[in-house]
Structure 1
């Protein structure tokens, strides 16, 4: 049926062409019009943009840290909170965290020796770091594990730095007290280790 239909159509086309007509398949040249030029963008008027003044608070204008401007407690760093004005609180938080981690490890080494330091360092590395919740906060960790992680120096340091950097110190009291407790524990361990070493030295001298 398909072949019959093709023959009928071919015959109909042949009947409509004059005798002696030759059909030639040849490419057709079409002249393409050039694309219109792109107009140049107008010059930006920078005078209409708001100017960030580090000495004056502009309500609603974000600071360099992406947060809305808020009054700063330190007038020497300007009157609005920025990433620069949070530098010293963050630095102090990190220093306290380093002390809370280093002093207990040094105290264990002083009191027990290399084995004590190894146990303490492995505890902080394999328990403190995974349970610190620095990227997601301890609330996103399983119940109980997140709370335990916040009691260790890595977790408390992360919470305190986050509080100082983004929330103006809000919620940083508990982490700060936790780190201070670890510093006290480290100082006590160091004192006991030094006293023990002095006692052993005196006994050996006798």
Structure 2
């Protein structure tokens, strides 16, 4: 996504707009939607109509796990029922392709621990986009879904998202998604040397706000 000299700049607000589909083009054109730890066939999430695929084609290390059954309920998204864990190695990376060079992407990763290892652990590890630090994830609630989002410019026809073991427990991931954005969006902030990390999102059309 970015060169080794790039930096990640945090903003307080981020509003993502996917590229509208051209006539005759799939509304999911350019999407990468990965259900991590899912070794089954591709499927359509009926709540979003988005097709999710297994992560086997993007990474060849790590181990697949299901979350514990007592953490499964009807409100939990399908892609949070399993995960890929990385007990070995300090740095494990997903290679995401194809992507369009010089296109800005929304990168989203989610994490649902679900006490899959029966350890009830407090887990902390780092996320990187390429060689650049994206976010430190601290997983303290096994029933919560944690999310990390960033906007980053693709500088090649592939990009990598890496989980880095910092000694705070075994890194894991539940889902990983890329969404292309309209040309020109966030051009002032997102370039080959700089990406944008979501700090919080506010809904100005409602009477209350989401955390």
TM-score range, shorter chain: under 0.3
**Who wins on radius of gyration, i.e. which is larger?**
1
Judging by fraction of residues, say which structure has more strand. 2
- TM-score normalised by length of structure 2: 0.17
